[in-house]
Each structure stands twice: as C-alpha cells, then as structure tokens.
Chain A
C-alpha cells in the first residue's frame, strides 16, 4: 500500500506556491532584514561611543582615581543603607498589617511623614540635629565604635574622620527609604490572593507559618520590580550625602566637571561620571530580572 502511495507522490507535479505562502515568506525576509539592520546600527553606535571615550582618553586616565574613590564610597553607602532600609521596610509593612490599630497608625504616620518631607531636610536633621543632641548628651558614636573595634582588633577600618557623616548619612537614607519600601512590601503582601491564606488556615497552619511558607514566596515575585526601582533610586540618592561632606561619586563628578571651561570637556566628565553609576545599576537590574525569571519558573 505504501509503495503505491510513494509512487503517486513521486509522479505528482510540484504544488504551486499560494499567494499566502509568498506573502508570509516576504514578511519573514523583511523582519530578518530589520533584525540585521538593527544589529548593524547598534554595533555602529557602540563603536561611536567607544571612539568618543577614546578621544578624551587623557582626561579619562587623569580623573580615573578620583572617580574610583567616589565609586567605592557610593557602593559602600548604598549597600549598608539598602540592608537597613529593607529591615525598616519589613518592620513597617508588618506594622501596617498588624491587628493592633495603634501599631497601624504609628506605621502610617511614619510612612506619610517620611515620604512627605524632603530627604535632604531629613538628612540634615539626622546629622546636625540628632548628632548635636548626642554630642550634648556626651555620647560620641565614633569613640564607642572605635573602642569596640579596638577590642576586636579591627580598628584600622575606622580611621576615617568622616565616621559621623557616614553613620548619620546612612541612618537618614535608610530611614527614608524604609518608608517607601514599607509601601512596596505591603502591596506585595496584599497582592497574594486571600484564598491562599484561607486555604492555609483550613489546613491548620498558624499565621507565622502562613506568612513564611505561602505569602512570602509569592509576594517576593510581585515585590522585585518596585524594589529594584527603589534600590536604584537609593543609589542615585546616595549622591545627596555630599551635603554632609562625604566625597562620593556625584561629588567627584561635579568637583571635576565644574572647573572645566571647555563645554565639551564638561559634558564628557558628566557622561563619564554617569557611566560609573550605570556600571553599578545595570548589573543590578540584570540580576533582578534573573531572579524574577527564576522565581517565575517555579510557577
């Protein structure tokens, strides 16, 4: 039976291509051409940017140490602040969803006041206000931490005379971002369907187990994009700590850019400084996308 079938196919003429087939083929070719064009254009743009950097290479090499120093300060400030901000945010979110009305109100006041006032004013209040209060009471945080570090034999890490600026700057920054993260975490927790916790209750779990096993994993998926947004904003906002005298990346950019009289040089220094920020933030957001993709696979 199959031999006859094969003979028939072999003797049949080649079927004519339909109009639809030809249109589809043309569409695929056009898209392919667009893709190739896009890659060529992208490649040319990247080359042009590299050439732009190359044409300013003397300035680049000259200013690199200052920028790297500023980068170090910025990374250090951002890392510590984000960890503290997550702690503040989690506490705030749980307080906002608490059973007790007083706790809920306190959390809401924290969020509204901290979000509603400029972060610069808050930083100055922490550094000059709270710092002055501590000095009046005779407490010097630097001496306390330094003596603690001496007993632990690591006091060479704390030789910086800027310790107060670091301490109050980081506290102020993380206190501010804790308020924004409170809202992010709260909306993430509330976005998990109520049916999930009802089912968990009916299975006999208590509220702590529900939070840990059911809500938290699902909430994390919702929380990652706005949290990454806030983390990136925090890195940009660490630039504000120059007001308490810390020489971080934006301070370095301005200190090197403003004395430039040639507008081309000035623009280059700004772009170069912005590039350093990109170098911190771009891998961060790539990592966040990767985390999202991995968590999404679980569902």
Chain B
C-alpha cells in the first residue's frame, strides 16, 4: 500500500512541476522575442580602430544623481539629461561625427568602472592627480574651476569681504565649513586644523547654511553657480546666500581615458583635437556662459 501511495504522490508532484515549467516557458516565449542584432557587449575583443568600445559611440561615464549642474535630469522632462558637461559631450561627439551615450555610474566608482572597461571616458568634473596618472590618460582642460566660498548674506562676520577679494583657506579659520563628501574641498579643508569640517553625503550643505547650522560652504564653482546663482534649467537663485572671494585652489576639469585600453592614444588625440576646436570656435564659451560658469580664468586655458 505504501508503494501505491508513493506512486500517486510522485505522479502528482511530477505533474505540478511539468505544468510549472510549461507555464514559465510560455511566459518567457510570450515576453521575449528574437532580435537579430547583438546589443552592446562588454567584451574587450570588440575594440574598434577608433579606440572606442563600440565604434561610432562615445560612452562616457558620469553620475546624474546629485549632479547638478554637471549632468542631471531635465526638470521639464525627467527622462532626458541636461547639464553643461552633457552639452560638452554632445558638442564633442557632433564634431567627431559619432553618437554619444552616458553610462550611469556612481561617482565614487568612476575610476574603478573605467579600469573595468564599462565605458570609454570619464566626463564628470574629473581632475588629473598624480595618483590617477598611474592608470589614466588625460586630455587638455575644458574648464578651469576653483573652490568658492559661500556664506549667509546677513552674516556680520563676513561683511567686510566681497566677491572680488582674493581669499584662501585662512579666511575660514575658526569657522564650521561644510562641503560634499569626497570632493576636493573636503581634502583641502581637512589640511587646516583650525577649520571644523562637516561633510555631507549625498545632499549638499546649502540647506544647513541657510538654517545657520554651519558658517560657510566651500565647494566647486559650478555647484555654486547652480544652487546659489540660479544658473541652469530648474535652478533658482538663493538670495539668502552670497559668494565671497574669487575662486581659489584652481584646478582643471579634464576627460580621462584608461591608459591600458587599446587605441587609447588615438582616442586621446581625437578628443584633444575636438576640445581645441570647441575652444576656438566659441562653442565652449557659449556653453559656459549659458550656465554662468564663464569667468576670466577660462582664458588661461585657451577658451576664447
């Protein structure tokens, strides 16, 4: 009798499993279909002669999360991207007569992802440092930026300072200064022991500055242009804050390539040519002026 029970149980289980498999199979077949062309592959054997992972497509790594005004979702159609770096990427690819595609990556993983070959270049407020030169190639600068100090407009302690003064870290000694985590400003501020540093991740410290929880913010000029000056789609000028001092600790935004990638030197040459062209024909000037990022310091890198 136990043998018969087992057979019944077995047949029932087998029937259930088969029907499940058949249902799953029909579901998959209904949802999927055959596509004849192979999609983009991450295999390293598909390098083209232009040095791109996929020929005719410049894949650039950036983050759109918290990326105003570099690369961020368009406020009027959030499935599209805007940002001054997005526009630079579009301009570059147009001049090179290829397509461009942003590969969404977390900011902290940009160099790892570049080394792993997830995209061709990094175009996201990237700087050349001695550390990075070991594994990356850099184009010429497309934007000379600096760190900008922002304080409350009604803060009496800074009333003697204006936006044209030449200030440095010393002006912030004895105050609580906020900035974003992982930014160069955080590094700079941590070198001065008389400054109390507060890092924010992922939000930005302007809200706390408004509320009076910190005394000043030191952060890259493009960020200030968006959040305080109100430049760019979806931005609003914040009247409660004001800039003091000219941008200092100047640096250059460059495009980074993986040194060990095949065709890297060729791609580097192409990109450098494209950037020079954009500087000379005024496209870069227009983009920067539109985002209120243009200042006299740009002439020093050849942007007219």
Contacts and interface: CB of A to CB of B under 8 A. Distances in A.
- Verify whether A and B have any Cβ pair under 8 Å: yes
Interface of A: 62-63, 65-66, 69, 124, 128, 131-132, 135, 140, 142-143, 146, 149-150, 152-161, 163-164, 242-245, 247, 251, 254-256, 258-263, 266
A179 to B, nearest CB: 24
B106 A140 contact: no
Interface in B46-88: 64-69, 72-73, 75-79
Given A155-B32, A259-B73, A242 B65 contact: yes
A169 to B, nearest CB: 12
Contacts of B64: 255
Contact of B68 (A128, A135, A258, A262): A258
Contacts of A159: 35, 39
Given A140-B41, A153-B32, A255-B67, 13 more contacts: A128-B109, A128-B112, A131-B116, A142-B43, A143-B43, A149-B32, A160-B39, A163-B42, A251-B104, A255-B65, A258-B67, A259-B67, A261-B235
Contacts of A260: 234
Contact of A243 (B31, B34, B106): B106
Contact of A263 (B73, B207, B226): B207
A156 B66 contact: no
A155 B78 contact: no
A66 B73 CA distance: 9
Contact of B105 (A158, A245, A261, A263): A245
Contact of A245 (B66, B113, B226): B113
Nearest to A259: B68
B75 A255 contact: no
25 contacts: A62-B76, A65-B78, A65-B79, A132-B116, A135-B116, A140-B43, A152-B29, A153-B33, A154-B34, A155-B32, A156-B33, A156-B35, A157-B28, A158-B39, A164-B42, A245-B103, A245-B104, A247-B104, A254-B65, A255-B72, A256-B73, A258-B202, A259-B68, A259-B235, A263-B207
Nearest to B235: A261
B73 A150 contact: no
B303 to A, nearest CB: 25
Contacts of A259: 66-69, 72-73, 75, 226, 234-235
Interface in B166-210: 202-204, 207, 210
A122 B139 CA distance: 34
B178 to A, nearest CB: 15
B73 A140 contact: no
A158 B37 CA distance: 12
B103 A261 contact: no
A63 B238 CA distance: 23
Given A66-B73, A153-B32, A261-B230, A251 B65 contact: yes
Contacts of B34: 150, 153-156
B21 to A, nearest CB: 13
Interface residues of B, number: 50
Given A157-B31, A258-B204, A259-B226, A146 B38 contact: yes
A209 to B, nearest CB: 12
B230 to A, nearest CB: 7
B258 interface: no
A127 to B, nearest CB: 8
Contacts of B32: 149, 152-157
Interface string B112-147: 110011100000000000000000000000000000
Nearest to B101: A161
Nearest to A253: B65
A255 B106 contact: no
B297 interface: no
Contact of A154 (B33, B236, B238): B33
Contacts of B160: none
A254 B29 contact: no
B187 to A, nearest CB: 21
Nearest to A262: B236
Nearest to B40: A161
B78 A244 contact: no
A143 B43 CA distance: 8
A244 B110 CA distance: 10
A164 B230 CA distance: 38
Contacts of B118: 245
Contacts of A158: 39
A131 B42 CA distance: 11
A177 to B, nearest CB: 21
Contacts of B156: none
A207 B121 CA distance: 59
A293 B57 CA distance: 56
Contacts of A256: 73, 78
Given A255-B65, A256-B78, A153 B41 contact: no
Identify the interface centre among B39, B108, B234: most chain A CB within 10 Å of its CB.
B39
B78 to A, nearest CB: 4
B236 A261 contact: yes
